Structure 1
Amino acid sequence: MKKAASKSVDTTAVTHVSDATLRNFMGYHMKRAFNVVQADLVQTLKPFDLRMLTYTALVLIVDNPGMRQSQLADAMDIERPNLVVIIDELERRELIIRDRVPTDRRAYALKVTLAGRQLYDKAVAAVTAHEALLLDGIDEATRVAVIAAMKQIEKSQRKG
Structure 2
Amino acid sequence: MARTNPAPVEDESGIEWLLGYNLKRAYMIVRDDFRKQVEQSVLSPRAFSVLTLITETPRLTQSEVARRLGIERSGLVAIIDELEKRSLAKRTAVPGDRRSQALLATDEGCRLHARTMARVHDHEKVLLSALSQTEQEQFLALLRKFRAAHEEDET
- Offset at residue 50 of structure 1 (A): 0.8
Which residue of structure 2 aligns with residue 151 of structure 1? 144
Larger relative contact order (Cα-Cα within 8 Å, sequence gap ≥ 6): 2
Per-residue displacement from partner, 1:59-90 (whole Å, max 9, x unpaired)? 00000011111110001101111111000000
Equivalences for residues 1-160 of structure 1 within 5 A: 18=11, 20-46=13-39, 49-160=42-153
Structure 1 stretches of 5 or more lacking a match? Answer: 1-16
Larger radius of gyration: 1
- Offset at residue 151 of structure 1 (A): 2.1
- CA gap 1:21/1:47 in 2 versus in 1, 3 angstroms: closer
**TM-score w.r.t. length of structure 1:** 0.83
RMSD of aligned alpha carbons:
1.8
CA contact (8 A) 1:48 1:123 kept: no
- CA gap 1:75/1:44 in 2 versus in 1, 3 angstroms: same
Which residue of structure 2 aligns with residue 13 of structure 1? none
Among the aligned pairs, what percent are the same residue?
32
**TM-score w.r.t. length of structure 2:** 0.85
- Offset at residue 108 of structure 1 (A): 0.9
User: Aligned pair count?
Assistant: 144
Structure 2 stretches of 5 or more lacking a match? Answer: 1-9
Which residue of structure 1 aligns with residue 6 of structure 2? none
Per-residue displacement from partner, 1:107-133 (whole Å, max 9, x unpaired)? 111111111011001100111111112
